[in-house]
Amino acid sequence: MRQPSWPTSEANLERPLSGIRVLDVSRVLAGPLCTMVLADLGADVVKIEPPRGDETRRWGPPFHMDSAAYYYAANRNKWGVSLDLKDAHDRHVFDELVGAADVVVQNFPQDVAVRLGTDYESVAAANPRVVHLTVSGFGPEEPDRRGYDVIVQALGGIMAVTGEAGGPPVKVGFPICDIATGLYGTIAVLGALRTRDRTGSAQQVEVSLYDSSVSLLTNQAMNWLLCGEEPTRLGGDHPNVTPYGTYPTKDGFIVVAAGTEDQFLALVGCLELDDLLTDPRFTTNANRIAHRDELRALLTSAFAGRTTEDWQASLAAAGVPSATVRDVSAALSAPEARTVTTVTHPDYGDIAQLMTPILVNGSYLEPYLAPPRLGEHNGLVGHE
């Protein structure tokens, strides 16, 4: 099989994955996020979209130019190609790309993947050295079961521990299961590439939204698995450390994280609640957890007397970890927001992006290609 032309960028030459070719046949978020991180790390990624485009192009408002803002979150540094895998000519182009790829990433349900030829068996038959990643909802035991972030947050325990005490379950305010699955997918591909290079044979890896959701329970899972304690919703509080959460002030909110005994002593001194130091209910973290509600009531009363700015200054001076609650615009405009940048599209101009938060030799991996228009690079990907 002759090699199709596979575009590359000079920006990748010194990056860790330089020379790796990734064929992205995924859509929405988990798969595209995985391939975007691989592209940031230097892989040459060709994104295949159906004639209607990735679903996230239509997930708006808001919209930027001809696609929803959502699409721009996970598709930079890719060469965009539109193919109808049911069309014989387009199918031939796709098959040749499969034969030239180091990695193929797809997230169709198994029945669709087999029909389109994006499943592992089909891809490995065409390319015996390929790394094949499937992103699924519920893993190989339920290959045709569709997965959606909010559904998996509900089924996977995340909503059970998110929200105010006594209130309804709440999903995390961003698609945390999709994001975690995409990042686990990146890790899986990197490990599989290492094995492929050592053995010379195709590698099959898979990550699912449900497995990723459960993995995020971390300490909450251990509270039940090891101790039989069913985690509950605690609002901004921490299940294993207190005081560690959000408190109302005279004009807003302050977040406090007194994770050590020294920090608790400093907090008590700052709040002028010295009696708490000899109160047996609060002398250890375990005691404070047992009397969480009483401690919260005392701290809430004290915090209500001053403004957030006043408390922030006092707590910082006392060495107590604390923060104001920023909105998204403030978080993205803050001095700490070092990964906010832009990438230039030849037709659209500068497009804002959030860089992958990895420093390589002291520098972030700046974007080199704007998220492509639908089919933008059809003329660059094909036969040489």
Q: Of residues 102, 178, 211, 237, which has the active-site annotation?
A: 178
Residue 178 among the catalytic residues? yes
pLDDT computed for residue 382 by the predictor:
66
Query: Which residues contact residue 298 at a Cβ distance below 8 angstroms, ignoring those fewer than 6 apart?
Result: 273, 276
Instruction: Answer for the pair 205, 191: CB distance below 8 angstroms, yes or no.
Output: yes
> Could you give the CA distance from residue 264 to residue 375 in angstroms, rounded to a whole number?
57
> Could you give the CA distance from residue 32 to residue 74 in angstroms, rounded to a whole number?
6
pTM of the model: 0.93
Instruction: Answer for the pair 53, 27: CB distance below 8 angstroms, yes or no.
Output: no
Instruction: Answer for the pair 219, 237: CB distance below 8 angstroms, yes or no.
Output: no
Closest to 269 (Cα-Cα) out of 320, 210, 232 = 320
Bridge partners (DSSP) listed for residue 360? 363
Provide the 3-class DSSP secondary structure of residue 82.
Answer: strand
Instruction: Answer for the pair 139, 110: CB distance below 8 angstroms, yes or no.
Output: no
pLDDT, averaged per 10 consecutive residues of the chain (384 residues), comes to 78 94 97 98 97 94 94 97 94 94 96 95 96 96 93 97 94 96 98 97 97 96 96 92 94 94 94 93 95 95 95 95 94 95 94 96 96 93 62
Instruction: Answer for the pair 190, 133: CB distance below 8 angstroms, yes or no.
Output: no
Would you say the C-alpha torsion 346, 352, 358, 364 has a positive or negative sign? positive
Question: Counting runs of H as helices and runs of E as strands, what totals does the chain give?
Answer: 13, 17
pLDDT computed for residue 1 by the predictor:
45
Bridge partners (DSSP) listed for residue 322? 256
Q: H-type helices in the chain, by residue range?
A: 30-40, 88-100, 110-116, 120-126, 149-155, 176-199, 209-215, 218-225, 261-271, 285-290, 292-303, 308-318, 328-333
The alpha carbon of 232 is separated from its chain's Cα centroid by a whole number of angstroms, namely 24
pLDDT computed for residue 45 by the predictor:
98
- Supply 246's token pair: 């959000």
Tell the burial category of 279 from Cβ atoms under 10 Å away from its Cβ (0-12, 13-18, 19+): middle
> Could you give the CA distance from residue 232 to residue 216 in angstroms, rounded to a whole number?
15
